[in-house]
Each structure stands twice: as structure tokens, then as C-alpha cells.
Amino acid sequence: MIYLTLAILGACSIGLLFKYSENHGLHRYSITSINYLTASIIALIMSVQANLLPLLGNMSADRLWNRVSDITTNGGTLPVGNSVLWAAIIGALTGFFFLNAFIYYQKGIFESGIALSSMFSRLGVLIPMTVSIIIWQELPSIVQSLGIVLAIVAIVLVNLDLEGKGSLQLRSSLLQLFVFSGAGIFCSKIFQKYSLIEHKGLYLLLTFFTAFVLSLRVLHRKKQGVGRSDVIVGALVGVSNLLTNYFLVMALSQIKAAIVFPISSAGAIITMTLGGVILFGERLRRQDITAISMTIVAVVLINL
């Protein structure tokens, strides 16, 4: 359980570092860029050690889409050349979604706190689950269906103004966090669905590097500087980001996925909520506490 615990603490540290940066007026986009630069460097080192970079010379676009369509119907994985290209394409797309998810995660923490931002980030799993039902007919079980219903109710509850007229007031940053997080998770799924698992290192490298390059464009457009504190916090977020994924993979090698995913998701929400309350004095409305509790149950049910 040590790897699972470390994965939960890693996810929690990202949220707490973002909360610290927002409270101290650090540059949001600078931290995002440093984060992805750090993660890219570490992923590059890991790819070099695994001798994965030479595979980029074997990329092949030959009948790629036809092969993907065939696998969708008959199962299997792509040939090596197609798999490397698929890792590059999906990695770049994932990087775009991850970058936006990180930006809206920070905005969500600033506007709504760690607890609710963590909740909407974790609920992003509903998007790949919904698409999987439509494309691959991966129908949810009765228990998972109950989790989906609870999650939807929780989202509505958070956005419901019970203290006013009971109207639905959508929190834009949280909803965009939900969409981009879900899209990123879906990209990871379609990489794993079709590519060779040995190419995961390349996929992660291209994901982080694409996010870094795109973040530089955003940083230039926003005209934000890069201070010493931005570099330190951004590097810490980057290390936490990579280690969280590493520890999660290690946990999956020792514990069943049916245990790892619900515990890691629920554990991250709980630890970040407690961290926000204890360290930063966050105050939650009664309906927020109810929605977070429902989300924890929903995430567990969805991953069973």
C-alpha cells in the first residue's frame, strides 16, 4: 500500500502547492510552464535510459486510420511503426488537454478552493466512461450507474444557489476543469487501447513536452514574468506531477486496479479537502460538504 499512499500524497501536494501559489500572488502561467519543463526533462531522461528515442525514427503513417478502425472492431494493438506515431499524435493532444486542465485547476482553486476543484478534476472520469459507452459499448454495471447518477447530482448541487433563489449558477472554471480533465483521461485511454504499452514512455514525453511548448505561448501572450518563487513552486509541482503517475503505475503492479483507482481518487479528494481546511482555513458550505461526500462515494462506485 506504500505506493498507493505516495500516489495520493503526490496528488494532494499538487493541489496544496497551487493553493499556496494563488494565495501568495505567484504567476499562474509561469508555474504551469516550469511544471511541464521539469516533467519533460525527467520524462526525457527516463526515455533515454529505456532506449525509446530511436523508435521515433520508425514512425509510420501507413494505413494508420484503417488499422485503428480494424482494431476498434476486432481488437488487438497497432504495429510498431503505427503505434509510435499514434503515441506521438495522442501525446500531443493529451498535452493540450492537460495544459488547460492545469490552468483551470489553478483558477478553480483560487475561485472555489482546493476541495471543489479536486472534486471536479476527479469527476472528469465521467467523460471517457460516457464516450466508451457510445464507441466501444462498454456498458456500466448497476453499481457504476448509481455512481454516475450520484456524480451528476453532486455537480448540480455544487452549482445550485441554495442561499439565494435556488437558481443554477454555473461555475465556469470548475466546469472547464471537468471537461479538460475528462478529455485528457480519454486520450490516455485511447492510447492504451491501441498502442503498445512499451511506448508509454514516449507518450508521456510527448504529452509533457507539448504541454510545455503550448504553455510558453500562453505565457508570452499573458506577458507574465518568471520569478524565483515561480521556478521553485513550478519545479516542485512538476516533480509531484511525474512521481504521482509513477507511484500510481507501481501501485497497479502490486494491487488490483479495482482497488487502486477508487482509493486513489477518493483519497486525493479527502486529503486535499483536509489540507485546504487545516492549512489554508478554507470554509465549505453545507451543500459543498454534501457534494464532496457524494463525489467520494460516486468515484468509488464508478471505478468498481
Between 62 and 204, the more confident residue is 204
pLDDT of residue 235: 93
pLDDT of residue 10: 87
Classify each residue of 174-193 as buried b or exposed e, where b means 16 or more C-beta atoms within 10 Å of its C-beta.
Answer: bbbbbbbbbbbbbbbbbbeb
Q: How many residues does the chain have?
A: 304
pLDDT of residue 161: 59
**pTM of structure:** 0.80
Residue 76 has pLDDT above 90, yes or no: no
pLDDT of residue 209: 92
pLDDT of residue 163: 59
Mean pLDDT within 86-93: 88
Mean pLDDT within 56-63: 76
Query: Could you give the percent of the chain with pLDDT greater than 70?
Result: 90
pLDDT band at 72, cuts 50/70/90?
low
pLDDT band at 73, cuts 50/70/90?
low
pLDDT of residue 50: 81
Classify each residue of 9-34 as buried b or exposed e, where b means 16 or more C-beta atoms within 10 Å of its C-beta.
Answer: bbbbbbbbbbbbbbeeebbbbbbbbb
- CA 264/CA 220 separation, integer angstroms: 35
Residue 168 has pLDDT above 60, yes or no: no
- CA 298/CA 150 separation, integer angstroms: 6
Mean pLDDT within 85-107: 89
Residue 170 has pLDDT above 70, yes or no: no
pLDDT of residue 304: 67
pLDDT band at 100, cuts 50/70/90?
very high
- Per-residue pLDDT tens for 12-50? 898 899 888 888 888 888 898 999 999 899 888 888 888
pLDDT of residue 74: 66
Would you kindly state where each structural domain of the chain is located, as residue ranges? Answer: 2-302
